[in-house]
Chain A
Amino acid sequence: MVASARDVVRVTGAATARPMVLVHGFGCDQEMWRLVVPDLATDHRVVTFDLVGFGRSDVRGYDRERYGTLHGHAADVVALCRELELRDVVLVGHSVSAIIAVLAQQQAPELFGALVLIGPNPRYVDDGDYTGGFSRDDIAALLDALDSNQLAWSAAMGPAIMGNPDRPELAEELTASFCRTDPGVARHFARVTFLSDNRADLPGVTVPTLVLQCADDVIAPEVVGRYVHRAVPGSTFVQLAATGHCPHLSAPAETVAAIRAFLEGAR
């Protein structure tokens, strides 16, 4: 993955600063981080990249067997850190990538110094006493809704990508974003994301971990964030004022402050 990912890896900040790898979540690519990277890069060597199948990554590298579970993506994160020769990495994962980060840390404990989990959800489907926030029917409807939109975008955005002379900036921006996602890959990744159960992986985390919880997060409700906090040994739980699922977009300053406070506290 790493070779094909060269042009999708962006490194910002001083080479001597502590490395921080930001892994984007479901539905987007590394553009997600653009409002927090400048701030974080003042005292970190910030690495962002696109997961295989997303953004500018080579969609041909998306092997459904390898990425049939989240472990494949986690292995990619580990490989990237090794290639960049990073040590004591602060691994920041958003949404599904919070779980990818949990798996990566256990695949190569020697590489990582801290985890930041933004809106983690180890299992979306309710299961007995466990509340994931969704019923089976909800997830089925969600997958349907995602499918509908993949279709709408691929159909509607084609012309924009081909070149819209009136609004070249639109074409460029969209090219850089979701339209990059192959509908088949998006659908497969959605299934892997929403049908995985990684609860059992949480207790294995061995580094200081921050759980960042938004208010009104449909995808990662507070009850799930608290569950993750209980399950990850010695983790820190921070409730943000930000609403929704993407605090790094909706409340970048608050998000950065929370991460920084945690890292300083963990020193």
Chain B
Amino acid sequence: MDAGSTDPDPRLAALLSDDPEELFENAPCGYLSARPDGTVVKVNRTLCGWLDRPREQVLGARFDRLLSVGGRVLVQTHLVPLLRTQGEVREMVLDLIRRDGSSLPCLVHAREVRDPDGVPLLVRLTLFDATARRRYERELLAAQRAAEESEVRSRTLQRVVGELSAAVTPGDVAAVVARRSRRAVGARAAGLWLVDEPSGVGDGEPRVALAAQDGLGDDLVRELDRTTAGRVGAVLSSGVRSVPVGPQLAAAWPALAAALTAAGHTGLVVAPVAADDRLLGALAVFLGPGGSTGGLLSLVDPTGPPVLEEADVDLLATLGRQAGQALERARLHEVTRQQAERSGFLLDAARLLAGATGVAETVERLAEMVVPRLADMCLVDLVTEQGMDRAVARHGDPARQHLVDELRAWAPPYRELPHPARAAMEQGRTRWFRDVTDEWLAGVVRDPAELAAVRALELSDVVSVPLQAEGRTLGVLTLSADRRRRPFTAADVELAEQLAVQVAMVTSKAQRFDFELQTSHTLQATLLPPGPPAVPGLAIAVRYLAATQGADIGGDFYDVAPLSGDGTGQVAIAVGDVVGHDITAAATMGQLRSVYRALLVESPAPSVVVDRLQASWPLLGLQRMATALFAVLSPADGGLTVASAGHPPPLVVGSGRAGFLPVRPSPMLGAAAVPAATWRGVLTPGDTLVLYTDGLVESRTSDIDEGLERLREAAVRWSGAPPDELVDRLLTELTGTHRADDIALLALTCGP
């Protein structure tokens, strides 16, 4: 306003001359005076207009009755104490309630008027319309709440991250996530379902299993299990989803909706659990009245639809991702641990199997290993000469052993039933039957009794692995898990396959060993001559000892045969040693002996025998060389003719003496063909001719000359003994319990 103005506007003058009453009544703010107890004693027109009430209604009313509920509480908890303690209140926000029930936010100033003694007389209030300010405040408030809630959520997340880092197993991780998710969003319950590890066997929908839950009842868990089958893909691929328990759910899944309603849930929110875009499972929180809010009441209307704030939805999504990462870490840890465990198992198996000496022992040890560490039941069927045979059937639970025994339909000879062992044998590959059903079981047994047995086994998984080695299928290993154990994993099946490889190799070796043992017994029976013939005027003792290692027969041989053709009563004697003491040596010896016997038909002289054998050696295709000594003895006069092919010299034992005959050996049979020398002499009646192979005089620790001398000395000590006793004494004195080589020993005494 211009200070120099001399012409004031008459209208302004009129306004300025308004009486104070007019100013009070029509002021741009509300005025109200009340007694200390709140009774309104004065109010201006402006405020009455705001309230849309006549002055008479306002006067005499309690001031706080003009306010919203919140306002009333504020007046009693804040306005009154402030006025009493400070005398004045400024800028309190109170909502007036108009006649139509709408509210008008006001900014209120209040001052207490007291008498000189400080006793309150009156409260004067000034109210300003704060609609615009309230709008602004609400925005501020919303932002502040969001910030605070985000702080709470970030604390929740920090706590979850902390707990997850301490979780070792996937089970621990799941438990933390379920518990924390429930608390974080104030849910009534929470559960975490995980997809089974990819198995590579079977296809279609992945299986999910409840890994952890917090507050879910058994009934609901069961119903959820049923519902999740076949629905996992859809749920997991659609991000965080809110599912109200309503008509739509009831139409699609009546049983689930009923179970949810029975448990008091009004809705659920499902969030994917994922790591690097790989879906590992789903996190579900169940909403409804009485959700956990840290011991405080919930203001959510229990009859209304479930509400989850957007920020909580985001929090769940984040928890899902955190869970995914932690699961990956825990699984890696578990896989590492399991691998170590499996390696240990296979190593144990290798040690145990290595000690087995036959097929029967091998499969017995296998069953011991497998049950119950890897499986509940272990069956091994092997191919034998007579066809398939059940080698072992073992159940980890002795109470169920009889069920396995009753399950003859699953034992060879296989019926025309498509059961696992048969399938694995025929297809030559592992067959894994997961989560076997009653229908499946009914298809692989013959009659109700067997069905009852197989049902009582409570099988969940059956795996059959063919036992293959050196291109042959030796049999089949069948393992099963029952419902009390967790189902087989792909890693279990792989372990079974690795075990099968080991078992097949050991079984193959054991079968070969069994075969060789049997063969050598047969050969021995065929090749070794029977007891010596009875020859007049001659006492004969023979001994044959195989080496203590390897087959029961070696390449040593002896032969005593009367030369009956010439009518002289002469006896042809042979002793020989094919190099080695295995099956080949035995076979060579057999051939050598056959050829020698054939030669005897012509009653040849010993040197001739040597020469003929040398000549025919290449023709016979004999693989080994041999030493041999051939002799012809005339019991009547003691006349003796000897020829040696690289063989140790004969020993002659008389009364109190013993000496080697100076026979000059020609080369070994199979070596260079040099004409053999002949030694001729006469045995004194009563003298004993001792023929032997080098196993008697040779050992790994001493040379042959020492051995010969020990033989001679022993023979002197026992020179008076008859042939049978002599050979036993010599064997006892010269050989220990361990023989590195075979021994053939003959003693012949020309007697009166």
Q: Are the CB atoms of B81 and A249 closer together than 8 Å?
A: yes
Chain B residues with CB below 8 A from A25, complex form? 77
Q: Assuming the A-B contacts A153-B91, A178-B78, A196-B296, are A141 and B84 also in contact, with contact meaning beta carbons closer than 8 angstroms in the complex?
A: no
Q: Mark B1-42, 1 if CB is under 8 A from A, else 0.
A: 000000000000000000000000000000000001110000
Q: Whole-angstrom distance from the CB of A169 to the nearest CB of chain B?
A: 9
Q: Whole-angstrom distance from the CB of B90 to the nearest CB of chain A?
A: 7
Is the C-beta of B204 less than 8 angstroms from some C-beta in chain A?
no
Smallest CB gap from A124: residue in B: B297
Q: Mark B292-319, 1 if CB is under 8 A from A, else 0.
A: 0111111111000000000000000000
Q: Whole-angstrom distance from the CB of A133 to the nearest CB of chain B?
A: 9
Chain B residues with CB below 8 A from A195, complex form? 293, 296-299
Q: Are the CB atoms of B76 and A149 closer together than 8 Å?
A: no
User: What is the CA–CA distance of A192 and B85 in the complex, to the nearest angstrom?
Assistant: 26
Q: Are the CB atoms of A216 and B85 closer together than 8 Å?
A: no
Q: Whole-angstrom distance from the CB of A108 to the nearest CB of chain B?
A: 21
Q: Give which listed residue, B71, B81, B107, contacts A145 with CB less than 8 A.
A: B71
Q: Are the CB atoms of A140 and B299 closer together than 8 Å?
A: yes
Is the C-beta of B564 less than 8 angstroms from some C-beta in chain A?
no
Is the C-beta of B137 less than 8 angstroms from some C-beta in chain A?
yes
User: What is the CA–CA distance of A149 and B64 in the complex, to the nearest angstrom?
Assistant: 16
Q: Are the CB atoms of B144 and A151 closer together than 8 Å?
A: yes
Q: Assuming the A-B contacts A28-B78, A218-B73, A219-B73, are A69 and B141 also in contact, with contact meaning beta carbons closer than 8 angstroms in the complex?
A: no
Is the C-beta of A144 less than 8 angstroms from some C-beta in chain B?
yes
Q: Assuming the A-B contacts A134-B69, A156-B91, are A149 and B77 also in contact, with contact meaning beta carbons closer than 8 angstroms in the complex?
A: no
Q: Assuming the A-B contacts A217-B76, A218-B72, are A149 and B297 also in contact, with contact meaning beta carbons closer than 8 angstroms in the complex?
A: no
Smallest CB gap from B76: residue in A: A245
Q: Are the CB atoms of B36 and A250 closer together than 8 Å?
A: yes
Q: Are the CB atoms of B69 and A216 closer together than 8 Å?
A: no
Q: Whole-angstrom distance from the CB of A122 to the nearest CB of chain B?
A: 12
Is the C-beta of B86 less than 8 angstroms from some C-beta in chain A?
yes
Is the C-beta of B82 less than 8 angstroms from some C-beta in chain A?
yes
Q: Whole-angstrom distance from the CB of A58 to the nearest CB of chain B?
A: 20
Q: Whole-angstrom distance from the CB of B457 to the nearest CB of chain A?
A: 52
- Main SS class of interface, A: helix
* Among listed A15-23, A29-37, A43-51, A230-238, interface-contacting one: A29-37
Q: Are the CB atoms of A68 and B294 closer together than 8 Å?
A: yes
Chain B residues with CB below 8 A from A41, complex form? none
Q: Assuming the A-B contacts A26-B77, A246-B76, A250-B84, are A152 and B91 also in contact, with contact meaning beta carbons closer than 8 angstroms in the complex?
A: yes
Chain A residues with CB below 8 A from B80, complex form? 244-246, 249-250
Q: Are the CB atoms of A145 and B70 closer together than 8 Å?
A: yes
Q: Are the CB atoms of A178 and B82 closer together than 8 Å?
A: yes
Chain B residue total in the interface (Cβ 8 A):
47
Q: Whole-angstrom distance from the CB of B521 to the nearest CB of chain A?
A: 83
Q: Mark B49-90, 1 if CB is under 8 A from A, else 0.
A: 000000000000010100011111110111011101110101
User: What is the CA–CA distance of A27 and B69 in the complex, to the nearest angstrom?
Assistant: 16
Q: Whole-angstrom distance from the CB of A52 to the nearest CB of chain B?
A: 18
Q: Whole-angstrom distance from the CB of B110 to the nearest CB of chain A?
A: 13
Is the C-beta of A266 less than 8 angstroms from some C-beta in chain B?
no
Is the C-beta of A42 less than 8 angstroms from some C-beta in chain B?
no
Is the C-beta of B140 less than 8 angstroms from some C-beta in chain A?
yes
Q: Give which listed residue, A142, A147, A170, A244, contacts B69 with CB less than 8 A.
A: A142
Q: Are the CB atoms of B64 and A218 closer together than 8 Å?
A: yes
Is the C-beta of B605 less than 8 angstroms from some C-beta in chain A?
no
User: What is the CA–CA distance of A245 and B71 in the complex, to the nearest angstrom?
Assistant: 14
Q: Whole-angstrom distance from the CB of B104 to the nearest CB of chain A?
A: 13
Chain A residue total in the interface (Cβ 8 A):
55
Chain A residues with CB below 8 A from B298, complex form? 195
Q: Whole-angstrom distance from the CB of A168 to the nearest CB of chain B?
A: 14
Q: Give which listed residue, B74, B81, B148, B301, contacts A149 with CB less than 8 A.
A: B74
Q: Are the CB atoms of B296 and A152 closer together than 8 Å?
A: no
Chain B residues with CB below 8 A from A147, complex form? 141, 145
User: What is the CA–CA distance of A170 and B137 in the complex, to the nearest angstrom?
Assistant: 25
Q: Are the CB atoms of A145 and B74 closer together than 8 Å?
A: yes
Q: Whole-angstrom distance from the CB of B630 to the nearest CB of chain A?
A: 106
Q: Are the CB atoms of B72 and A149 closer together than 8 Å?
A: no
Q: Which of A149, A157, A170 has the most B CB atoms < 10 Å from its CB?
A: A149
Chain A residues with CB below 8 A from B293, complex form? 195
Q: Whole-angstrom distance from the CB of B130 to the nearest CB of chain A?
A: 9
Q: Are the CB atoms of B137 and A141 closer together than 8 Å?
A: no
Q: Mark A162-204, 1 if CB is under 8 A from B, else 0.
A: 0000000010011001100001100100011001110000000
Is the C-beta of B92 less than 8 angstroms from some C-beta in chain A?
yes
Q: Are the CB atoms of A170 and B294 closer together than 8 Å?
A: no
Chain A residues with CB below 8 A from B294, complex form? 68-69
Smallest CB gap from B67: residue in A: A145
Q: Assuming the A-B contacts A68-B295, A243-B37, are A249 and B85 also in contact, with contact meaning beta carbons closer than 8 angstroms in the complex?
A: yes
Chain A residues with CB below 8 A from B105, complex form? 148
User: What is the CA–CA distance of A151 and B70 in the complex, to the nearest angstrom?
Assistant: 15
User: What is the CA–CA distance of A245 and B297 in the complex, to the nearest angstrom?
Assistant: 23
Is the C-beta of A87 less than 8 angstroms from some C-beta in chain B?
no
User: What is the CA–CA distance of A134 and B86 in the complex, to the nearest angstrom?
Assistant: 29
Q: Are the CB atoms of A145 and B73 closer together than 8 Å?
A: yes
User: What is the CA–CA distance of A45 and B294 in the complex, to the nearest angstrom?
Assistant: 37
User: What is the CA–CA distance of A178 and B93 in the complex, to the nearest angstrom?
Assistant: 14
Is the C-beta of A82 less than 8 angstroms from some C-beta in chain B?
no
Q: Give which listed residue, A136, A152, A184, A218, contacts B299 with CB less than 8 A.
A: A136
Is the C-beta of B365 less than 8 angstroms from some C-beta in chain A?
no
Q: Whole-angstrom distance from the CB of A148 to the nearest CB of chain B?
A: 4
Is the C-beta of B434 less than 8 angstroms from some C-beta in chain A?
no
Q: Give which listed residue, A184, A219, A244, contacts B38 with CB less than 8 A.
A: A244
Q: Are the CB atoms of B77 and A69 closer together than 8 Å?
A: no
13 contacts between A and B (CB under 8 A): A27-B81, A28-B78, A31-B81, A134-B69, A139-B299, A140-B299, A170-B88, A191-B296, A219-B76, A243-B37, A246-B77, A249-B84, A250-B36
Using a CB–CB cutoff of 8 Å, the interface residues on chain B facing chain A are 36-38, 62, 64, 68-74, 76-78, 80-82, 84-86, 88, 90-95, 105, 107, 134, 137-138, 140-141, 144-145, 148, 293-301
Instruction: List 3 tightest A-B contacts by C-beta distance, closest first.
Output: A145-B70, A27-B77, A245-B76
Kindly list 7 other residue pairs between chains A and B, CB separation below 8 angstroms, not including A195-B296, A218-B73, A246-B76.
A68-B296, A69-B295, A138-B69, A145-B95, A243-B38, A246-B77, A246-B84
